[in-house]
């Protein structure tokens, strides 16, 4: 789904299609264990987040037209994300991140992993298949987060709706690290049908911070449908660097 990134399906015969049940359970357990300590391994850092928003009025998903773009300085400090809007359409921003109007997707940096893997979510996990991603073998796991424990929320015209959601996780077959996660909400036939057509797809990769390699989100794509119109946000992350005392001064000034 993400532009510039492809997923190749590994075509295997029936005998090769999956590991035995015990091995599958072991793979799933390993992925869960790795993901639950993921954010604790990350240092405090700052990066650039650029979001490009587009729409397809045909509803076909093949006639995208760019709407706008905006750039945030994303600060990851003590396991929390903070956003400072820097530019809108290449010009200095005259508003805050929270004042951006239109379709704004959140949770693509790190929140989605937390929503899925925190024990309180009571997420259901199951082995799905083997696959490849960017030339590396992957274990694909399907999951579902029930409504009563879901953090998938969407707001429009002052109304907020919470949905159960499900999706797939691609984990590196060698390390067990999550390299891609997809999510979409459940439910149909109600007045929040536009939310049911939403989806989020996040891809991870290795990036250096202060000379050390860390697994971080590199690109995310969020989609939704407003009647016949499709909306798409493609977000890219770059320029990762260590959080410094100078950055801390900026952050404190913003809070005043």
Alpha-carbon dihedral 138, 144, 149, 151, rounded to 10 degrees: 60
Using alpha carbons, list the distances in angstroms from residue 125 to 26, 140, 150, 197, 232. Answer: 12, 11, 15, 23, 28
DSSP annotation of 121 reads G
Nearest alpha-carbon partner for 195 in 236, 235, 164, 233:
164
In three-state secondary structure terms, 244 is: coil
Residuewise pLDDT in 10s, the chain (256 residues): 333 332 222 333 443 444 568 899 999 999 999 999 988 888 999 999 999 999 999 888 889 999 999 999 999 988 888 999 999 999 999 999 989 888 887 767 778 888 899 999 999 999 999 999 999 999 999 999 999 999 888 765 667 788 899 999 999 999 999 999 999 998 754 555 555 578 999 999 999 999 999 999 999 999 988 777 899 999 999 999 998 765 544 544 444 4
Helices first, then strands: H and E counts in the chain: 4, 14
CB 199 within 8 A of CB 223: yes
Exposure string of 42-62, with b = 16+ CB inside 10 Å and e = fewer, is eebbbbbbbbebbbbeeeeee
Q: What are phi and psi of 4, to 5 degrees?
A: 80, -5
Domains with residue ranges and CATH for the chain: 17-255 (2.50.20)
**How many other CB atoms are there within 10 angstroms of residue 236's CB atom?**
16
CB 241 within 8 A of CB 47: yes
Using alpha carbons, list the distances in angstroms from residue 83 to 62, 71, 110, 254. Answer: 31, 10, 13, 10
- CA gap 112, 107 in Å, rounded: 5
């Amino acid at each position: 789904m993400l532009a510039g990134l492809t997923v190749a399906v590994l075509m295997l015969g029936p005998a090769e299609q999956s590991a035995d049940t015990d091995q599958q359970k072991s793979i799933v357990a390993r992925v869960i264990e790795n993901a639950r300590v993921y954010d604790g391994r990350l240092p405090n850092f700052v990066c650039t987040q650029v979001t490009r928003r587009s729409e397809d009025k045909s509803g076909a998903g093949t006639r995208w037209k760019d709407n706008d773009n905006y750039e945030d300085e994303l600060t990851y400090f003590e396991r929390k994300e903070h956003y400072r809007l820097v530019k809108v359409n290449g010009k200095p921003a005259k508003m805050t991140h929270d004042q951006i109007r239109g379709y704004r997707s959140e949770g693509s940096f790190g929140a989605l992993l937390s929503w899925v893997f925190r024990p309180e979510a009571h997420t259901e996990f199951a082995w799905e298949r083997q696959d490849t991603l960017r030339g590396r073998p992957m274990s694909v796991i399907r999951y579902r987060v029930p409504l009563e424990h879901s953090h998938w929320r969407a707001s429009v015209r002052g109304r907020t709706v919470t949905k159960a959601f499900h999706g797939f996780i691609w984990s590196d077959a060698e390390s067990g690290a999550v390299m891609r996660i997809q999510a979409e909400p459940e439910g149909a036939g109600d007045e929040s049908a536009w939310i049911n057509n939403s989806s989020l797809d996040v891809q991870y990769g290795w990036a250096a911070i202060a000379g050390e390699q860390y697994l971080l989100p590199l690109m995310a794509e969020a989609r939704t449908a407003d009647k016949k119109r499709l909306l798409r946000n493609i977000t890219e992350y770059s320029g990762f660097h260590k959080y410094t005392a100078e950055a801390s001064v900026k952050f404190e000034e913003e809070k005043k």
